[in-house]
Amino acid sequence: MKKVAEAKAVKYNPARERLEQDILAAAKRLFAQRGFGGVSLDHIAREVGASKQNLLYYFPSKEELYRRVLHGVLDVWLSYMDAISQHPDDPEQALREYIAGKLRFSREHPDDSRVYANEVVSGAPIFFAEIAERVIPALQADVAVFNKWAEQGLCRPVDGRHLMILLWASTQVYADWASQISLVLEKPELELQDFQAAESLIVDMVLRTVLIAPAAPRPAKRSASRKT
Amino acid sequence: MKKVAEAKAVKYNPARERLEQDILAAAKRLFAQRGFGGVSLDHIAREVGASKQNLLYYFPSKEELYRRVLHGVLDVWLSYMDAISQHPDDPEQALREYIAGKLRFSREHPDDSRVYANEVVSGAPIFFAEIAERVIPALQADVAVFNKWAEQGLCRPVDGRHLMILLWASTQVYADWASQISLVLEKPELELQDFQAAESLIVDMVLRTVLIAPAAPRPAKRSASRKT
DNA sequence: GTCTATAGCCCGATAGAC
DNA sequence: GTCTATCGGGCTATAGAC
């Protein structure tokens, strides 16, 4: 994997690097909006002021460009799952931070979320192998953490796989379904307060279900706004 | 709206009706997999053993065919939301049935869910107006029901909009993200028991959060299996 | 590295015979 | 209703000049 990136990085060239990043950014946005089959190389090239022939000089094919975009998104996506095991003895803190982090990701990088969602909804025809290779072990690690918490009496026994699926869904929806959500909230686009309301509800529901002790968990710490 | 269908239905012709339904079904599956821009009329026509010219005899354009597909999906999608107000004095039953219904829809008609998800993730470029016209009032009606329950002391005061968004997300994910979920569950495709596990978790979380009285709600009634 | 040119194919939609 | 033929254009990718 990433053989192209390494081969190109042998000689470091800042101008080249910048155009390559511009192409990846434009491709991400367009693939997110219209899917792999709905975007042409010409379309992407025009966005960065290059020709499609030039674009094919930087990336060997349309599919390889698409793979590079998804690879970068999955890096970030998995980093949130890895963070769960950073709190090996505090389920509440781990879950609060996962929810806040994913919601911040949905707010700050909605196209990253959407390009990945687009691929998965389509049945992951191109990224299938990489998802299998990287997401399965990440989920197993998190499930192991949930199980250890339950053994230690730190939380209720839960089905960690379906809990993670619910967390994926309920946080990503604010990026992937932003068009419908902003419609039903009757505002041109989602605002910080909408993400805060989402965070309150999701944290409340998850902690009520997972934690043993408190009937009414502490209110959310507004952590979605940390980096605003 | 649906002017085409009505115009065509003036003279009833069973053979014509059947081919039209076949085309809609094939289009639904292909649009779900590859998005509007990733599917060609030729592709759809070959699936039903017709020519693309013939297909354009039944539907005036690719976009109109796509609209017809989405219109049918939204009909069903909204019927679940309408069912909430069918239990005006029993929040627990209303929520249980909504969750069970949407999960059954995800299991029995995953492509319906996916074609709609594909449009929404893409920013609803074509179906924007119809979503605004039909989903906004449906959500407002459900929020009004939640608020009435809270006033009557039947449930906690909740943000009905974000609760519905969470219900949409957590039930649809089992159709829209089936490719990734079946990968991480390490089985070729989702089984009934997976949907039952999902239902248990979602019902448990929602009732713990929304209902006032019981610390541990009754177990789910396995209603996802009702029509199997 | 960027350009022009082009191969070879697929696209949505229309015209008109039958 | 279904067919053949075709218009006008877009598509990915490659070749080769500079």
Q: What distance in Å separates residue B9's CA from the closest CA in chain A?
A: 32
Region A135-159 average pLDDT: 97
Q: What distance in Å separates residue B132's CA from the closest CA in chain A?
A: 6
Q: Which of A56-65, A110-119, A208-217, B126-135 has the lowest mean pLDDT?
A: A208-217
| Tens of pLDDT, residues A198-212 | 999 999 999 999 999
CB-based burial label for A196 (10 Å; 0-12, 13-18, 19+): middle
The model's pTM: 0.92
Whether A183 has a pLDDT exceeding 90, the answer reads: yes
What does the pLDDT read at residue B13? Answer: 79
B215 CB near a chain A CB, below 8 Å? yes
Cα nearest neighbour of A175 on chain B: B121
Residue A13 — very low, low, confident or very high, per pLDDT cuts 50/70/90?
Answer: confident
Q: Are B202 and B170 in contact (CB under 8 A)?
A: yes
* CATH number given to A10-60: 1.10.10.60
Q: pLDDT per position in chain B (228 positions), as tens? A: 444 444 444 567 788 899 999 999 999 999 999 999 999 999 999 999 999 999 999 999 999 999 999 999 999 999 999 999 999 999 999 999 999 999 999 999 999 999 999 999 999 999 999 999 999 999 999 999 999 999 999 999 999 999 999 999 999 999 999 999 999 999 999 999 999 999 999 999 999 999 996 555 556 555 554 544
Name the CATH superfamily housing domain A69-210.
Tetracycline Repressor, domain 2 (1.10.357.10)
CB contacts, 8 Å: A169 with chain B: 169-170, 172-173, 177
Contacts of B47 (CB under 8 A, 6+ apart): B26, B29, B30
The ranges of chain B annotated as CATH 1.10.357.10 are: 69-210
Q: How many residues are there in chain A?
A: 228
The ranges of chain A annotated as CATH 1.10.10.60 are: 10-60
| Tens of pLDDT, residues A86-97 | 999 999 999 999
Whole-angstrom Cα Rg for chain A: 20
Amino acid (one-letter) located at B182: S
Inter-chain residue contact A169 with B173, CB threshold 8 Å: yes
CB contacts, 8 Å: B36 with chain A: 34, 38
